Amino acid sequence: MKEKLLLIGDSGQLGTEWRYLFEKRGIPFTGVSSDKLDITDRQAVDALFDAERPDFVINCAAYTAVDEAEDNPELAMRVNRDGVRHLAEASARHDTVFVHYSTDYVFPGKKEDQSRYPRGYDEKASTEPVNQYGLSKLEGEKAIRETTDKHMIMRISWLNGVYGHNFIKTMLKLSRTKDEIKVVNDQFGSPTFAHNVVRNTVCLMQHGLHGTVHLSSGGLVNWYELAAEIMRVADSDTRIVPVTTKEFGVKAPRPYFSKLDTGFIRTFEGSRIINWQEGVQNLLRDPRLKLD
């Protein structure tokens, strides 16, 4: 890549994965963490774009606390809608391509949708979030589409990686001290892995894609099955106990089915969708993985 790259939110699990790629390949970029840039501050965003004048901006900044968003919907909207609009508007002024990550939680996740969309929700499926987090992310998507045509919105699901906080690392940490862990077995989808997200995003950027695309892993799984596979690969004796979402108890409603159809992204030469089991194995064997 010879273009000028601006990475927003470079200290989270996805942003750090991007940073690792750029540094490993010797690709120049400017990275800013959420501590250094508040995307809800329009003037700060404009000043950064005026100084950098990037060809591509990759936005990894987001409010991702699903349960907390139920109590703080205004904060979720300020970050995931208003902050994203500021980035999109700045991108439009500078003729910058805006790369943004959204979520499977923009969909309703009804049980009957598993039959209606056997391969998962495609990019044209109707959106209808069931929680405040999903609604704020959908509003962010709308803000981008209203503001700039030069955008790439990538919807991903159940993100896991070697950096930051995620389900797989949580399961591994809990297995150190617990004989059994209760995990819900009535939410179906597929995990996405940060390394695969970055690889496929680079592919689509090189193809010049503008629009919305779904990225996840192959196969369908629930959280209980995913946790059981983590324990198996990690050779852990910790027992995974299946429970319903109602029994587990969460503040924010969760979709029953949120699988994403990856048929579109597979049409691009150089893309690679891995099965979720391969993703788990790769992550647990990655030398960069640290739990402390």
Catalytic residue among 121, 133, 224, 256: 133
Nearest Cα to 147, choosing from 239, 195, 83, 202?
83
- Residue 65, number of CB atoms within 10 A of its CB: 14
Report which residue type is found at 142.
K
Q: Assign 3-class secondary structure to 139-191.
A: HHHHHHHHHCCCEEEEEECCEECCCCCCHHHHHHHHHCCCCEEEEECCCEECC
DSSP per position, 59-121: E------TTHHHH-HHHHHIIIIIIHHHHHHHHHHTT-EEEEEEEGGGS---TTHHHH-TT-B
Angle formed by the axes of helices 194-207 and 13-25, nearest 10°: 60
Helix, strand or coil, per DSSP, at residue 137:
helix
Burial class, 137, CB count within 10 angstroms (exposed 0-12 / middle 13-18 / buried 19+): buried
Q: Is the dihedral of CA 277, 281, 284, 286 positive or negative?
A: negative
**Residue 121 annotated to the active site:** no
CA distance 119 to 149: 28
Show which residues are catalytic: 133
